Every structure is written in structure tokens, then in C-alpha cells.
Structure 1
């Protein structure tokens, strides 16, 4: 028997005091609630010719774009409930989780490839760059319990074994590792290419590293917020000159950039162009570097990072 109700949520974005969402549904009867309060929805039909091959000609009219104002800016995503039609209500946010772009899945595959490589290595050793457990969060549960793990951070704190500046990693770590990884750190490095050279000194030949940072993200922990990285930019840091090759590079979490005030023509449609919140790369050490960069990073800028 053919299923009566069909629908999908393609976008769900929170912007200031509004929520904007798009998708499609047959027999659409859209309701959205926040904290059990029904919101007033403004709805616009959107043609969806992409649905015709699956559901027939009538499906071209199933698309919608909608927005609703919110009672507060302090939003808790778990308090939303959404119904597309009588047959597709949200249950524990399962409906929201259907709005996954392919890039998210490919990014997860890259991360899982690294995690599997660590797990399959006999007696693996791993160095985490920027390991301090901010708000108690660590990534130790990604890896085997018996992992030979060392965490380095510019500040002492939970999950930190070595205190030191990654720009001069080899001064603080006098051994080599099978693996390295770093999450949301490279944007805070004044000279990330120098850190790549230091990683080369402390990574075994054939060793791998997983590096995750941001192509787009609000300014944070300023004034120590220096860079944004597209997935292609990793090739400029990890290459034959620094003694690496990029095995994979991907994006995660598609996003939009929305000007606070569109007061110039080139800003009018900026939100329609894609960007991403995360980019990452899986790299492998191929040999010694062909270049050197002996500059003292702290001589260029005050790197007395003080954010706790």
C-alpha cells in the first residue's frame, strides 16, 4: 500500500527573533511550536519540479518556504515541534535531523576513517594539539581506552599533559607519535604553516593527522582569531614542502552569511550563496620538509592567550 503522507525538511535556520524553514509535503498542514506555544507562520508556496519523477506532476506544488517570529533570542532547539502534515509530526526532533546535506555525511566518513586507523594500529600513540577540556568536553572517547595519548595546550587545565605553544611543538615534545589531531585550533594559530613543520618533526613517517577548523565562523576568542580555511586551503599548509600529502578534505554544516544591514547591492543576495561552518583534512606525513621557518611567533604578536 502506498504511503499517504510524504514530506521533508530541507532547511531550518534560526535568525535573531525568527525561524526560517523550507521543505516539501503533500497535503501540507504546517504547524510549528516553541516551548509548547504555537507560532504564527507566514507560508509561501515554492515549485519543486525535482519531486515530479518520484511522485508525479502534482508534487511540483508541494514545496514551501516559511518563517515565524520567536518569543526570545535565547533559543533551545530541543523545544521546537514541527508538523508538515497530519502524517509527519516531529518526534524528539527526528524531523529536524532529516535535513542533512551530503557534505555532512562525507565529512563524517573522513573523521571515522581517522578514528578507525587509530583503533586498528597496534599500540597507537596520539598527540592532540589544543587538548584543554573547555567546559569539560574532550574527544578521548573517540579512541581506544589504552591509547598512548598526550594532550598539549597553551594553557594548563583538564586533559592537558604538556603546556606549550604549538608553533614550537618540538621544544615541548621530545618524541614522535603515530597520530595527531586538532579541533578548532588552527584558526587561532598565527603561523599555521610553522605548526605543520613542527608536526612533521614529531610525527612518525607515514603517520596521519586529522585537522578540523572553520571556513566560516563568528569572531571568537579575539584577538587570537587569525584565520579561516576552505577545504582547498589545506593543500597550502600540508604539501610536499612541509612533508605531507592531503589524503582527504571535506566540509561540514552548510550555512549562510547574512549581513546585519543590506546597504549595498552586492549584499542583497549574499545569504543565497553557500558557505560551511567546518572544514577538515586528513593528512599523512610523507617525509622531511623541504623548507624551514625559524621565526619566533611570539616576536610578531602577543600570543599570551588568556581566554579560559
Structure 2
């Protein structure tokens, strides 16, 4: 953030950068640097009370000189609500006007993830008379993604339980038993973490995708345990290559993260917890995969013989 402001009749070059911006419950934490620091933060046009600490920044010295070592800051403020809309934040690092560019409160990864989803949606829209199977389609909380895709879509929703937005009831581990046709596209969101053997599901997807067909899979690299005892996995964006590869008959077209986050231990009395809360993670991981041919492996295990998969959460 570079700003120029009139100071005593002349232009002064104000510089600053926001390195970190995160929220824990009702507390917003932000760190960065600014010359002539005069920090203010607003939420929904209300100025927040800021607790500010100076931080040494020797990394700035080679760029701006020895005086820049004192430009660093760490600050926090209490928010008026626990339901946060990041577009309502404004930040001022110095004597310039408050920034209304909400991009500073988001991450580049969010843009790349949005591009990933948009790319898949565009591919579906461009296909004449496309067909799509959604794995885990039940609208448990009223969430349905059918509207992401064109009305002309031949859509089939599949879930382990009957319910809203479910056309086929069945276990994705044995997908080819549940549907007697193939599809141009597949889609799944927040379901793969609940699959006991996601690699077997990949093999089943291969059986029911047309050659060259694509799938958009979205799950979590980090997320609180939920819907136990049927919460099995977390996925980094690199992990998709272990599931969708030449052995299962796929290639990963692209993989991205969304929603940067931090893991904060309830207590940190062990050395290896030190600094954990400032290390980054993400809440969503997604990939587009494409069927390249038949799989080179088989996995014939009966999922229900290994673990009770009578998923019972409403």
C-alpha cells in the first residue's frame, strides 16, 4: 500500500503493507509495517479500539534504510459481532485515507480457487447437452449447488441417504452399482473427507465417467472434526495426485486452496506447539480431474465389511 498525502503543503510518500489479517472469534489480529504509522481499523464504518505493539523489522532495512527497522507493528481489536463480513473492513496504516480495497483482506489463493471453480462451470456450460453426477448431493442445511450449472444440464444427485436434492441413494464406494449409465462430469463438495476409501471411489468414478470426462472435487485440508464417526480424511492440494493419477485412470488438471486459516491450540505447553498459531493452513482444497483411460489397478473390497458406513447424521 503506497499512499501520498498532503502534509504541510507538500506531498509525503507513505508506505505500508499488511502481512497478516486473521480473525479468532470476535478478535481481529493484523500485522505489517508502515512508515509514519497512525493505524486505524473500521468495521461497518465504526472505528475499532486498537491495541498496538511495535515490532522490529530488520528485513525492511535493505529496502528503505536503517530507520525502517522500527516500522513494524502487531495489532488487535475486538469486533462488535461474531458473524464477520470481510468486505466491511477498512484499514488506515498512516495519515492517508482509509483503504476501501477489500482485496487486502483476502488471499491470492481465494482468487485461484474461484478461477478453478469457474473453469469447471464453464466447461459444463460449453458442453452440448451435458450430464453431471453430484456425489453427496443431499441438501442437509439447505445447501444445493445445482444452480452452479446451466438449466439444460442432465443432473443426477446421489447420496448415501434419501433427502432433498437426492435422485439416487447409494454408497459412492460402489458407485457403478448405483447408476447404470455414464456422465460427462462429476462434482462433489465436502464429501470426500467422509469416504472411508476415497481411492476406491476414484476407481468407481472412472467406471461411470465418459472418456475425457472431468470432475470437480472440493474437500478440506483443515476443518474441525464433524459428523463423527464418519470423518476420515483431510486433503492438501497435493494429495489429490495420490488419488487421481495414471493408476486410477485420471490426471489432475488443476488444484487450489481457498480460505486461509490458522490452527490455535487450546493450550500450548509443548515446544512443538510454539508458533503453531501463526503457521498457515486452509479450509478448502479443490481439484479438477480428467479421465485419461481405464485404471491400472483394482480394489474390490466391500467398504461396509471394513467399517460401519450406516451414516446416520440428519
Give, in angstroms, the shift of residue 193 of structure 1.
0.8
Q: How far apart, CA to CA, are the structure 1 residues paired with 2:4 and 2:130?
A: 50
1:252 aligned residue = 258
Return 5+ residue gaps in structure 2 as ranges: 6-13
2:75 aligned residue = 66
1:75 aligned residue = 82
1:212 aligned residue = 218
Q: 1:170 to 1:51 in 2, by over 3 A?
A: farther
1:3 aligns with 2:4: yes
CA displacement 1:64-101 (0-9 Å, x = unmatched): 22123457xx602139654414534365xx53x42333
Return 5+ residue gaps in structure 1 as ranges: none
Q: How far apart, CA to CA, are the structure 1 residues paired with 2:96 and 2:133?
A: 49
Give, in angstroms, the shift of residue 140 of structure 1.
2.2
Q: Which piece of structure 1 moves more, 295-304 or 74-83?
A: 74-83
Picking from 293, 298, 308, the partner of 1:302 is 308
Give, in angstroms, the shift of residue 305 of structure 1.
1.4
2:167 aligned residue = 161
1:238 aligns with 2:248: no
Report how many residues are paired: 300
1:172 aligned residue = 178
Q: 1:140 to 1:46 in 2, by over 3 A?
A: farther
2:197 aligned residue = 191
Secondary structure in 2 matching 1:3: strand
Q: How far apart, CA to CA, are the structure 2 residues paired with 1:281 and 1:40?
A: 39
Superposition RMSD on alpha carbons, in Å?
A: 2.7
Picking from 44, 48, 58, the partner of 1:38 is 48
Judge conservation of contact 1:188–1:226 (CA < 8 Å) in 2: yes
Judge conservation of contact 1:31–1:41 (CA < 8 Å) in 2: no
Q: How far apart, CA to CA, are the structure 1 residues paired with 2:195 and 2:265?
A: 27
Q: How far apart, CA to CA, are the structure 1 residues paired with 2:70 and 2:97?
A: 18
Q: 1:42 to 1:192 in 2, by over 3 A?
A: same
- TM-score normalised by L of structure 2: 0.85
Q: 1:67 to 1:147 in 2, by over 3 A?
A: same
- TM-score normalised by L of structure 1: 0.86
Q: Which piece of structure 1 moves more, 194-203 or 37-46?
A: 37-46
Q: How far apart, CA to CA, are the structure 1 residues paired with 2:34 and 2:276?
A: 27
Judge conservation of contact 1:247–1:281 (CA < 8 Å) in 2: yes
1:150 aligned residue = 156
Give, in angstroms, the shift of residue 49 of structure 1.
4.8
2:281 aligned residue = 275
Judge conservation of contact 2:26–2:82 (CA < 8 Å) in 1: no
Q: How far apart, CA to CA, are the structure 2 residues paired with 1:50 and 1:223?
A: 49
